[in-house]
Amino acid sequence: MRRRVPACLAASIALIAISCVAPEPESEPEPEPNKETTFAYDCEGTYVVTRTEGLDKLWVFLPGQTVALKHVRAASGARYEGDGVLFWSHGDEAMLEVPGSDRKNCSVDRRASILEDAKLRGVDFRGTGNEPGWVLEIGPDRILFSYDYGEGRAVFPMLTPEQDSAGRRTVYSGRSEEHAIRIMLAGESCADTMSDETFETTVEVTLGDRKYRGCGQPLH
């Protein structure tokens, strides 16, 4: 399995200082259920991403290499091995062993896991906002907008963006059978005052007569 690396969606977006609010990760709605499961771990300073494939296979993305591991029986937790690599997880904790390196203890990063999952599904841009919580995903072949903490959901075929390089704006507009949507991505730095994170882009979504504001970032 390889990561998809499309052309950067927001190459024309510049950064200036402005503040907006994005949601806490705990309140963020899931865009859609997946059979695969993706997790990002901090393994004593080593960034590791894992993704299941079915019940018996685990892809592990290590710095500089990707390995496929097979599930093996364990007294507790989930254990995978292959090519000299061992990965064992139980809840939010895990353990990693690679050839030529000491065994490392790992802890899951929930926010990073959400972003890595979107990357591996080929999403080019992801935005979030709150009150009420919403998630925007653009690419690879559609636009998905999940709103009201996941209770509402609107899906559109991939729309052709209108670029305003001078104004540092990218606008998508279109409609489905049920909804009309307008998405504006502005090259304005967007601060999440809850987590102290700063994002590259300010996002405004108009769905019907409702407006949603938040932050976003390109994923590739």
**In the chain, what are the domain boundaries?**
25-33+122-218, 38-111
C-alpha dist (Å) from residue 22 to 15, 93, 123, 131, 155: 17, 27, 19, 9, 22
Contacts of 113 (CB under 8 A, 6+ apart): 38, 39, 40
Residue 82 pLDDT grade (very low, low, confident, very high; cuts 50, 70, 90): very high
* pLDDT exceeds 60 at position 14: no
Average pLDDT of every residue of the chain: 85
Mean pLDDT on 58-68: 95
Measured distance CA(193)–CA(62) in Å, rounded: 32
- CATH superfamily for 38-111 is C-type lysozyme inhibitor (2.40.128.200)
* pLDDT exceeds 80 at position 102: yes
Phi, psi of 117 (to 5 degrees): -65, -45
Global pTM? 0.76
Residue matched to tokens 């540092």: 168
Written as six digits, the tokens of 56 are 């018996």
- Torsion angle of the four alpha carbons 51, 57, 63, 65, in this order, in degrees rounded to the nearest 10: -130
115-152 pLDDT, tens digit per residue, is 999 999 999 999 999 888 999 999 999 999 999 999 99
Beta bridge partners of 76: none
CB 211 within 8 A of CB 205: yes
Give the per-residue pLDDT at 1.
52
- Which residue, 196, 219, 209, 207, is CA-closest to 21? 196
